[in-house]
A and B are shown apart, each in its own frame.
Chain A
Amino acid sequence: MEAARGAHPLSAEMPASQARTGTIALTVLTILTIFGVIFGLYMGLVRAGTDIDQGSVQRIFYIHMPSFFGAMLAFGAAVVGGIMYLRTRQHKWDTLSLAGVEIGIALALVNLVTGAIWARPIWNTWWNWDPRLTADAIMVLTYAAYLMLRSGIDNPDTRRRFAAVYGIIAFTSVLMVLIIPRIIPTTIHPVVIGPVFTSSELAQGGFELQATAGVGAALGINFIVWMFLIPITLLWHRIRLQNLADRVEAMKTEALSS
């Protein structure tokens, strides 16, 4: 078994002790993330003051926006993985790319669904064709296309190369979500953070960060959790899973060919 592992190009294997340290670090990070989620929920649902206009519905924002930025971080990781793969041709970068896209999609869906739940009472509709919502949905579809592209190519090297190229191009859809509500004046999606170039008079449901006690703190905590802890932990798990799957595949090939 050890010989089989050594024969595969992927297993420029870490020594066993180092692998164990990695596993321990991952376990610690996972536990930290779980506590982070619970603490974030406590801050958002209990500690932060109730919004005077929107009531408790506003609290969904503590997950809604940070999860988008978590998705952005994951998609950004896919871009980094893509560029590094094209430069170095090391499989690990492609694995990072794939993991980034999958986790980005998951977090973007959290973002979409929480947004729809919030919009039902505030905008009186689950979904409207607001530019930002549409751009966000298109972003998810772009990355779904990325997964389709991957599954459509048989040659593994070609698959990695093409996935890297499309992963880089696909990031434009993320930038669209960020830019659109700032330049198209007809959006009703509020811009809470960052510069606004065309202030939308139609924005419904924005709020002041300093308005009530604990709002800023709750948002800060949830930002750390949803933008960094959750994506990084999931990325790590997904990469580890992929490495294990690759190793199983290599061992299978080895066993069949001997």
Chain B
Amino acid sequence: MTAAFLRAMIAVARKDFRAEARSRELLSLMGLFSLLSILIFSFALELNRTARLEVVGGVLWVTILFASILGLNRGMALEREGGGMDALLIAPIPRGAIFAGKLIGNFAFAFTVGVLLTPIMSALYTVPALQPSVIGALALGTLGIATVGTVLAALIGATRARDSLLPILMLPVALPVLIAASRASGGLLTGAANADAGAWLLGLALMDAIYLLVCGALFGFVVEEG
């Protein structure tokens, strides 16, 4: 990684952050959806308190995943409308830098939503959620989701079905991350001793590394013109 690569990467990410700072469109969309989602889950699971405590990790992660898909779809649509992707491709910067820059943006949005969501869930479900290990699971989990999402969101731009196709393509591929992340945060949220949490976090980091390598290598093929 040269300095030029890093500079291009940061420039791409900064472009996304600036657009978001001006419109606040993605974060409000994702945030509102997440709030509604956990409220709906909380009503749906109201009947049984122990069951609710056990599934709280799963609820958190399903919500984050769906919110990410929503954000990715909207973000890609915004790029298409503004011709942003074409401009990025014309710019004399490596494709890897575009991927990394978009990834930083997507990751930051998903992670922010997760971090905002955790204390709210902590209050709604009365569980001690604000722990460093939960934040660790959030960081690693949203990184994995954002990595896969960055490639797949670029992929659906050329399809006829567009927005409706992303969940179908993304849910099965993001499943490994979802499982590991909810396993890692599940026990932590209930406060029960979760001896496996460290192992799941390690597995999550490993998965992120694999996805980063594979998706980073494939992104260039997705965005090339042809």
Kindly state whether residue B90 has any CB partner on chain A within 8 Å.
no
Of the candidates A141, A165, A173, the one whose C-beta lies within 8 Å of that of B221 is A165
Task: Determine whether the beta carbon of A153 is less than 8 Å from that of B160.
Answer: yes
Q: How many A-B residue pairs have CB under 8 A?
A: 69
Interface 1/0 per residue, B173-188 and A, CB below 8 Å: 1011001000000000
Task: Determine whether the beta carbon of B155 is less than 8 Å from that of A165.
Answer: yes
Main secondary structure of the interface of A (DSSP, over half): helix
Task: Determine whether the beta carbon of A162 is less than 8 Å from that of B175.
Answer: no
Q: What is the distance, in angstroms, from A158's C-beta to the closest C-beta of chain B?
A: 5
Kindly state whether residue B70 has any CB partner on chain A within 8 Å.
no
Using CB atoms, name the residue of chain A closest to B175.
A138
Interface 1/0 per residue, B203-226 and A, CB below 8 Å: 100000000001100100110101
Task: Determine whether the beta carbon of A149 is less than 8 Å from that of B159.
Answer: yes
Kindly state whether residue B165 has any CB partner on chain A within 8 Å.
yes
Kindly state whether residue B56 has any CB partner on chain A within 8 Å.
no
Of the candidates A145, A162, A164, the one whose C-beta lies within 8 Å of that of B172 is A145
Of the candidates A157, A158, A161, A169, the one whose C-beta lies within 8 Å of that of B151 is A169
Complex alpha-carbon distance, A152 and B175, angstroms: 23
Task: Determine whether the beta carbon of A149 is less than 8 Å from that of B175.
Answer: no
Kindly state whether residue B87 has any CB partner on chain A within 8 Å.
no
Interface size of A by Cβ–Cβ distance < 8 Å?
A: 28
Q: With A141-B172, A148-B165, A157-B226 given, is the CB distance from A168 to B218 under 8 Å?
A: yes
Complex alpha-carbon distance, A155 and B168, angstroms: 21
Kindly state whether residue A170 has any CB partner on chain B within 8 Å.
yes
Q: What is the distance, in angstroms, from A168's C-beta to the closest C-beta of chain B?
A: 6
Using CB atoms, name the residue of chain B closest to A85.
B221
Task: Determine whether the beta carbon of B214 is less than 8 Å from that of A168.
Answer: yes
Kindly state whether residue B158 has any CB partner on chain A within 8 Å.
yes
Question: Could you say which residues of chain B place their CB within 8 Å of the CB of A164?
Answer: 221
Kindly state whether residue B148 has any CB partner on chain A within 8 Å.
yes
Task: Determine whether the beta carbon of B148 is less than 8 Å from that of A169.
Answer: yes
Interface 1/0 per residue, B100-139 and A, CB below 8 Å: 0000000000000000000000000000000000000000
Q: With A165-B218, A165-B221 given, is the CB distance from A152 to B172 under 8 Å?
A: no
Main secondary structure of the interface of B (DSSP, over half): helix
Interface size of B by Cβ–Cβ distance < 8 Å?
A: 24
Question: Could you say which residues of chain A place their CB within 8 Å of the CB of B169?
Answer: 145, 149, 166
Task: Determine whether the beta carbon of B176 is less than 8 Å from that of A166.
Answer: no
Complex alpha-carbon distance, A56 and B84, angstroms: 63
Q: What is the distance, in angstroms, from B31's C-beta to the closest C-beta of chain A?
A: 28
Question: Could you say which residues of chain A place their CB within 8 Å of the CB of B193?
Answer: none
Interface 1/0 per residue, B138-180 and A, CB below 8 Å: 0000000000100110010011110001001100110110010
Using CB atoms, name the residue of chain B closest to A140.
B172
Q: With A86-B221, A154-B160, A161-B226 given, is the CB distance from A176 to B214 under 8 Å?
A: no
Q: What is the distance, in angstroms, from A151's C-beta to the closest C-beta of chain B?
A: 9
Task: Determine whether the beta carbon of A161 is less than 8 Å from that of B172.
Answer: no
Task: Determine whether the beta carbon of A142 is less than 8 Å from that of B155.
Answer: no
Q: What is the distance, in angstroms, from B194's C-beta to the closest C-beta of chain A?
A: 13
Task: Determine whether the beta carbon of B158 is less than 8 Å from that of A153.
Answer: yes
Using CB atoms, name the residue of chain B closest to A176.
B176
Task: Determine whether the beta carbon of A170 is less than 8 Å from that of B173.
Answer: yes
Using CB atoms, name the residue of chain A closest to B173.
A169
Kindly state whether residue A172 has any CB partner on chain B within 8 Å.
yes
Using CB atoms, name the residue of chain B closest to A142.
B172
Of the candidates A145, A154, A165, A172, the one whose C-beta lies within 8 Å of that of B222 is A165
Question: Could you say which residues of chain B place their CB within 8 Å of the CB of A165?
Answer: 151, 155, 218, 221-222
Q: With A161-B221, A165-B218, A169-B215 given, is the CB distance from A152 to B173 under 8 Å?
A: no
Task: Determine whether the beta carbon of A145 is less than 8 Å from that of B218.
Answer: no
Question: Could you say which residues of chain A place their CB within 8 Å of the CB of B152?
Answer: 166, 169
11 A-B pairs besides A152-B159, A158-B158, A173-B172 with CB distance below 8 A are A138-B172, A142-B172, A145-B168, A149-B155, A149-B169, A162-B158, A162-B222, A165-B218, A166-B155, A169-B173, A170-B173
Residue contacts A-B, CB under 8 angstroms, 16 given: A86-B221, A145-B165, A148-B161, A148-B165, A149-B165, A149-B169, A158-B226, A161-B226, A165-B221, A166-B155, A169-B152, A169-B214, A172-B176, A176-B175, A176-B176, A180-B179
> Nearest 8 CB-CB pairs, A to B?
A152-B159, A142-B172, A145-B168, A165-B218, A152-B161, A152-B160, A158-B158, A138-B172
